[in-house]
Structure 1
Amino acid sequence: MSERWPWLRWVFLLTAAALVVVFLLAQRQAEVDVSYARSPSGKDTVSEGDAGELSGATLPSVAELTDMLDKDKVVRLPGAVAGWDEARVTRAIGDADIRILVAPPGLTDKQQKQLADVKNATIRIIGTDLHGSTYQVVPDRLAEWRATFVTGDVTGLLLTLIAAERDQPGPPEIDPFSWRAPTAAELDPVANDLRAGGLHLAAGATLAKRPQTAAFGGQRPLVAAFPRQPPGQPVPEYGPTLATLFPDQPILVMYGNWIGYYGPHAGEFADVTAAGFYARFGDRLSGYAYPQANVLGTYLDQVTDVRYAGLFDRPLPYRPLDPLRVALPALPWLFGACVLAFLALSARSVLGPRTAPRTPPGRLAGLTTLAIELSGLSHAPALARALVALQAARSALAENLPDRHVARLLTAARRDLDTVARDLGRAEYRPANYLVGELAWRD
């Protein structure tokens, strides 16, 4: 094949090169847009210094705080919100000299550095943010975030930090938080406010108005806001009951800085959104006194971004068929096949043909040589016919007659020579064995 079409191997080589170029161009980096649509959420509303996160609390001096801790192992400053199971914590401390300073949330950077200068404070708690002499502990589960933000209970975190200070194994995980069903007297005012204006504000809540948001596809959520709940007591769970009273409506229930969603598709995105939100902002929310409006606004932005990602209740956009994307996995295999074909044809060109010539002159020469060999062994009529056919083929070539006519004469000569060799019982003189590459002689 390479002798008949010597340019063929270069076609394979150029094809391989073209496949490499196409494949490499397809690997270029491009901007990835994972959104179903452009999310209309706003920017993060939580930014230091202008979001109402500073409480304006005042602190005693470093010397005064040091003296206070010398007298008492636990010093709780006015406005402190963190609480814990005192019996468990006392048992965990044992006879170790661990002193705890509990401060209110929303301190300035200068005030936080002031607390760090209190050297006899083993553990410092600012809001619900816990720091030890070496370590800081933060929640890593939604249950811990919920307990921290709903009630201010830091029992589990505090036990973990005490174990680290005492160089002991961490305690088993505990969940001091529990829900209870709200009573009729608790539920009625909440439901009535939601029916009247879509917003219920309990005494102590800092939320001012019902938010506007694109998080729920044009539906404005119902919102019930409560202050931080007392630690150590079951918390009334309004969400499931409100979802029954207001079906197919998005409902948000806030306890302090904890936000729960109840309503359509809650199982699809609520936990994902909560985990992402508190993992991202939980550290800031623990140590600062952000108003509920700021916290809720940032949470709704997170919900909007997640829902507009097209992963949950929205259908994915139509994506037209891209032939290149479909064929791309096959390009390396096509490249390999073209390279192998080029190498095979190149090897044939270097090593030369391994069969007898396939052109009429070459076939004529081979059969003529065989006829001369057989003429010394036989005078059969078939040999005479073969010699006549070979002579006719030679004349046809000299006169430039069509190749098809020459091929018929050579085929007839080969058939007669084969008959002579079989009659002699000499298999080695049969054209198929005597001439190299028997397949090349078939017509």
Structure 2
Amino acid sequence: MHALGAVLAVAGTLLLSGAPSAAAQPPTVIEQLEQNRIVRLPGAVATLDDARVLAGLPANGRVLLAPTSGLPDLGALRSWAHAAGVGLTVVEGLWIESPLRKLPLATADENTLRRVLTTHDVTDAVLGKQSPAPATVPATAAQLDQLPVSRPRAGVRVARSPEPFVDYASGLAARSPGVLIVVAHGDWLEFAGPGADQAEHARDATYGPALLNRGRPTDVVDTVLARLAEPARPIFDLPRPERFEFKSVVMYVAAGTAAATIGMWLLFLYLRRTLRRLDAGVAMREERAEAYLRLEELGDLLIEVESNGQAVDPRIAERLATARTLFDQAHTPEAMAAVREIADEGLSAGREEKR
């Protein structure tokens, strides 16, 4: 009886307390940003000097390091940041979007590009600063002896540097004359030997689309070597025209007259449509130029406010972020004019705040 009573008591307790709670869910990205000023998501490739970033961020600043694949809920993050008055900097791969402006790494100078692609350190870019890459030092004979290098294949030898900013390529080229040397420093490539100039052009052509498309370059060595292997196409590589012989002058005159009449009509239609497109194109270029100047002026205004140690009005930063997002999506003069008006709202608010 005592045992039966104990079982019934336990059963009653369970019924009153309800079913066991589900396992705790991991915190969302927004919850992590609410609790931490720097958040790293799994798969993020960019690195930071946390101490420098925390010292340089404004009080409401947050930094999110995301993987190259990007964030599907970036719009929700922007909305949360605006509502919470948070200056959110998002780093997707090596692409940076800050409250002040978008910073595509592909537009950086070569030294900055080399430093970031070698180390993946985006500290200076997040803080809006520029610092050149450290000077490259020649590799010693001992370093060259210990570096694994592939066997020559199609006149190319490839190696991966274990140390940043050490020039292995020149030393390896001296040891392997007549062979193109490719040395990978992280995602950055150095070349030496015959064909080095063409290899650098192929490297730059590979970096541009990847870095402008919110990410980082992948498979750089294979892509560059594939570009170098493409055969060069002659500039004047057109077939010679076949010899033309007249069969009947009358037939060709009649056909030519009909063709000319039809051609004039088609030319009239084409010119009318072309003039309409030109008018729209001129209007689009003018609106785009005006909107771009407004965006640059608003960005410079926010930088000036921050440089003076003043707090940035979140509404002004939101106007800039909204205008930049719509600028990339505007394809008509009317849409670009709307972007300019949004930027003008931010400029008006900023000038009032400066007073």
* TM-score, normalising length: structure 1: 0.40
Instruction: Please state which structure has a larger fraction of its residues in helix.
Output: 2
Identify the structure with bigger relative contact order (alpha carbons < 8 Å, sequence gap 6+). Answer: 1
